[in-house]
Amino acid sequence: KEKAIAVQVARFPWAASGRALTLDRPDGLTKLIIETESERILGVGIVGHGAGELISEGVLAVQMGATARDIAESVHPHPTLSETLMEAAEVFYGFSTHTLTPKRR
């Protein structure tokens, strides 16, 4: 906010994750803070069961300057909680399989 960078926050609720549901842990959330123009991932937030084991992918994405497309197009095993990062990136583009989001213009 201090640098006036335009961002979009893409959120994926774990209630839409098949793995979270099978673990009976649907109360989590994965969010990506994405610079709107470059689509670069500026920050990641994950809350829920096993979040500490998932955050490393987000940290790597921020440190290497990855874009939301990099995460969305990376293979994530199914069914796993790691898919929530991919799904959050897909929310940014409006094509997340498990949530209803408007397409990005």
- d(CA 105, CA 102) in angstroms, rounded, equals 9
What is the rounded distance in angstroms from the CA atom of residue 82 to the CA atom of residue 19? 9
Question: Which among 49, 76, 78, 98 is annotated as catalytic?
Answer: 78
Phi and psi torsions of 41, nearest 5°: -80, 120
Among this protein's residues, is 78 annotated catalytic? Answer: yes
Q: Which amino acid is at 24?
A: D
Residues labelled as active-site residues = 78
